[in-house]
Amino acid sequence: MGRERRKSDGSDAEPFWSSVFFLSFGIALLLFLVAIEHQNWFTLKPATGTAEAMSYASAINGTKS
């Protein structure tokens, strides 16, 4: 009963940095899972109507690629 729990040799900042690490890991994982569900967010599209018309005109047989 006379034994006391000793604190680990780590500094007091250790719990803070581990919390920051796990929070950033969770956010990165969430962003990854959202990104793989919405692949259409990463396709290149013409920004204006003129650019879209030029893209359409340059495609073979008028079909978009």
Residue 51's domain comprises: 16-62
Is there a domain that residue 7 lies in? no
* The overall pTM is greater than 0.75: no
Is there a domain that residue 3 lies in? no
The pLDDT > 70 percentage for the chain reads 72
Query: In angstroms, rounded to a whole number, what is the distance separating the alpha carbons of residues 2 and 58?
Result: 84
Number of domains in the chain: 1
**10-49 per-residue burial string, b: 16 or more CB within 10 A, e: under 16:** eeeeeeeeeeeeeeeeeeeeeeeeeeeeeeeeeeeeeeee
pLDDT in tens, 19-39: 999 999 999 999 999 999 988
pLDDT, greater one: 59 or 34: 34
Which are the contacts of 62, defined by CB distance < 8 A and separation ≥ 6?
Answer: 56
